[in-house]
A and B are shown apart, each in its own frame.
Chain A
Amino acid sequence: MKSPFASILDALTRQRGVRASLVVDENDGIVVDSNLQIGQDGDRVAALAASLYRKARLSARAARLGTATFMQLEAQRGRICAAGRNDLVLVVVADPAANIGMIRVEMIKAAGGLP
């Protein structure tokens, strides 16, 4: 049986360079649903990305910048993208060469559909 997030995750994983896409509970970093390439540790990605997004979201609010809608971390060998709604965070781990513009658009659209 497919979860309600399967179509969202499938659409994201089809984007070039995406290694993992997950829906994570922001409060505890637990995976709600995921679509992972072989070798990706879903639990670790979920915990770290949710923690990073939560920290960024709270910091932005404390700095009076309003509600966070999208976050992207760029590193030497990969990227982490996150977009949240309510207590859920949509997380994508992608290659450096991934088309981040397309991924961003898809994630913002998908996050709007999170319950």
Chain B
Amino acid sequence: MADDVRRWSDELARDPASLVFLPLGETLRRQGQLALALKIAMRGLERHSHNADAHDLLARIAVDRGELQRAFDEWDVVLRLTPEHIGALKGMAFVRFQQGNAEEAEQFLRRAALRGGDPEVEAALANMRGAGRGPREALAFESGSAGAAENGAHPASRAPHPAPNDARALFADILGDHEQTALLLDGQGLVLAGIYLDGNGIDVGDEVGAELSGVTDAARRASRHLDIGDWRSIVLETEVAVVTMAPSVNDGLLLVAASKATPLGLVRRVLERCLERARQWLEEAR
């Protein structure tokens, strides 16, 4: 195991975008090195913000650290990316039970059972129906037993499969696992589709959308008064990111953000593809 940790660490040092942060973080978690596991998971999420396994890992680390609500939020993100993720449903059931909400815990377990479930889910449901015990015994997240079942596979074999009807995953296949994200906003700056995760894996789409959509008013005013026609796009480069924005249908706004390391031309191409996807999606929604 020590050899594995060393090998994965070396690989991650050589290639910071490598997915070996997943088994490395999980191994460190099981060894009880939670601070290090958290650091590895967070760095991985910075580069793979749409990777459901990365959020799943962060959730399990959070449980081990006693941060139940954070774990719940992470599993919520996992479900948005991979709605059939049974591990996330089991995790959310566990958190809700620990928080004293047995009814909601049971609802999550039922959802897991509907998606195929597994013996742990059935046992937990039986426990809840019977002696009123919780899912804790069956879903032993603290010991990592559920995690072991979920993470034994190579990360690449569990790539996210966003559901077509999940608005938050609308651009996931265009964005891939790169350091970029996209949001479709309505005329009021409210998020219609896409997801924007901060360094902690929290969805801050509403906040970012509200802040950046205000730029479009200034853009509209400047282009009108300078007589250069309707504005087509804005590119904003910062110390850490490249943000591109373009008007979408019905006074909406599409925003694509990528890490500073992403070539500008690539970001613009992604923006164009996302614009087309948004247009089709809004047409279908009518």
A85 to B207, CA, bound (A): 26
In the bound complex, do residue A65 and residue B215 qualify as a contact, i.e. CB atoms below 8 Å apart?
A: no
A75 adjacent to chain B (CB < 8 Å): yes
**Minimal beta-carbon separation of B236 from chain A (angstroms):** 5
In the bound complex, do residue B222 and residue A52 qualify as a contact, i.e. CB atoms below 8 Å apart?
A: yes
In the bound complex, do residue A65 and residue B241 qualify as a contact, i.e. CB atoms below 8 Å apart?
A: yes
The segment from B106-114, B131-139, B225-233 that touches chain A is B225-233
What's the count of A-B pairs with C-beta under 8 Å? 105
A10 to B238, CA, bound (A): 26
**Minimal beta-carbon separation of B45 from chain A (angstroms):** 15
A51 adjacent to chain B (CB < 8 Å): yes
Q: A63-B208, A64-B198, A66-B241 are in contact. Are A77 and B229 (CB under 8 A)?
A: yes
Which range holds the interface residue count of chain A?
A: 20 to 34
B149 adjacent to chain A (CB < 8 Å): no
A5 to B215, CA, bound (A): 28
| Interface secondary structure of A, over-half rule | mixed
Within 8 A of A (CB), among B212-246: 212, 214-215, 217-219, 221-223, 225-241, 243
Among B234, B239, B240, contact of A72 (Cβ-Cβ < 8 Å): B234
Count of chain B residues near A, Cβ 8 A: 33
Among A44, A55, A56, contact of B226 (Cβ-Cβ < 8 Å): A44
A79 to B232, CA, bound (A): 10
B182 adjacent to chain A (CB < 8 Å): no
In the bound complex, do residue A66 and residue B222 qualify as a contact, i.e. CB atoms below 8 Å apart?
A: no
What 1/0 mask marks residues of chain B from 65 to 101 whose CB sits below 8 Å from any chain A CB? Answer: 0000000000000000000000000000000000000
In the bound complex, do residue A78 and residue B229 qualify as a contact, i.e. CB atoms below 8 Å apart?
A: yes
**Minimal beta-carbon separation of B267 from chain A (angstroms):** 12
In the bound complex, do residue B228 and residue A66 qualify as a contact, i.e. CB atoms below 8 Å apart?
A: no
In the bound complex, do residue A73 and residue B219 qualify as a contact, i.e. CB atoms below 8 Å apart?
A: yes
In the bound complex, do residue A55 and residue B229 qualify as a contact, i.e. CB atoms below 8 Å apart?
A: no
Which residues of chain B are within 8 angstroms of A63 by Cβ–Cβ distance? Answer: 204, 207-208, 211-212
A68 adjacent to chain B (CB < 8 Å): yes
What 1/0 mask marks residues of chain A from 31 to 53 whose CB sits below 8 Å from any chain B CB? Answer: 00000000000001100110110
A9 to B217, CA, bound (A): 28
A64 to B223, CA, bound (A): 27
In the bound complex, do residue A71 and residue B211 qualify as a contact, i.e. CB atoms below 8 Å apart?
A: no
**B219 to A, closest residue via Cβ:** A73
**A53 to B, closest residue via Cβ:** B218
A74 to B238, CA, bound (A): 18
**A72 to B, closest residue via Cβ:** B235
In the bound complex, do residue B211 and residue A62 qualify as a contact, i.e. CB atoms below 8 Å apart?
A: yes
A52 to B234, CA, bound (A): 11
In the bound complex, do residue A70 and residue B215 qualify as a contact, i.e. CB atoms below 8 Å apart?
A: no
In the bound complex, do residue B234 and residue A73 qualify as a contact, i.e. CB atoms below 8 Å apart?
A: yes
Among A49, A66, A76, A78, contact of B240 (Cβ-Cβ < 8 Å): A66
In the bound complex, do residue A49 and residue B222 qualify as a contact, i.e. CB atoms below 8 Å apart?
A: yes
In order of increasing CB-CB distance, the 5 nearest A-B pairs are A76-B229, A78-B228, A66-B239, A48-B222, A75-B228
Write the residues of chain A forming the contact surface with B, with a CB cutoff of 8 angstroms.
Answer: 44-45, 48-49, 51-52, 55-56, 59-60, 62-80, 93
